[in-house]
Amino acid sequence: MCETKSVSSALYLDMNEKLPQLTTEEERELSAIDKAWHSPAGGKSLEDVAAKYGYTYEEAGERYSELCKKDEATHNYIFIGRVGQFCPIKPGAGGGLLMREKDGKYYAATGSKGYRWLESEMVKELSKEDSIDRSYYDKLVDDAVETISKYGDFEWFISNDPYIPKPKLEDFMNIPEDADEEIPFN
């Protein structure tokens, strides 16, 4: 029950489960300041963001630094490499968020969002096989069933019933060649 993940940059496990987290409001505030600071041409200005959160333009830099330090304390990135083999782990069982790093920022690795992960070697070494989050695999199955159902009957697809092709529409009005007698059309 392992998934191999690979990226062109670097994979990390963010072992942040027991670390204090930013509140949703603090995350929004940090994101708003960051956007206003780094892309002032499109969107809200830094003055607008500062006013929205109740401080002056001059205090925005201090608040940004404060939130960045607090955000850094919410992460414990463990370097994995470019490729790794992982198992989805139930929340509270010691897994981390599987992240990829790009340009100094961290993003969820493809297909890992919403789950915690642990290297498969550690799962075996720590005997955490019972902590594998099977809901990850259930979701993969549900997604596959949904995709197959878009193109045909899923129940028939998985059954052992033989394929019986439907007659071609152009053969609808033609007399079969192996017919014994000609059928009159009156």
pLDDT tens-place string over residues 62-105? 888 888 898 888 889 999 999 999 999 999 999 999 999 998 88
pLDDT tens-place string over residues 147-164? 998 888 888 888 887 777
Here the tokens at position 49 are: 């963001």
**For residue 27, what is the enclosing H or E element?**
helix 24-38
The domains of the chain are located at 20-74
Q: Which amino acid is at 16?
A: N
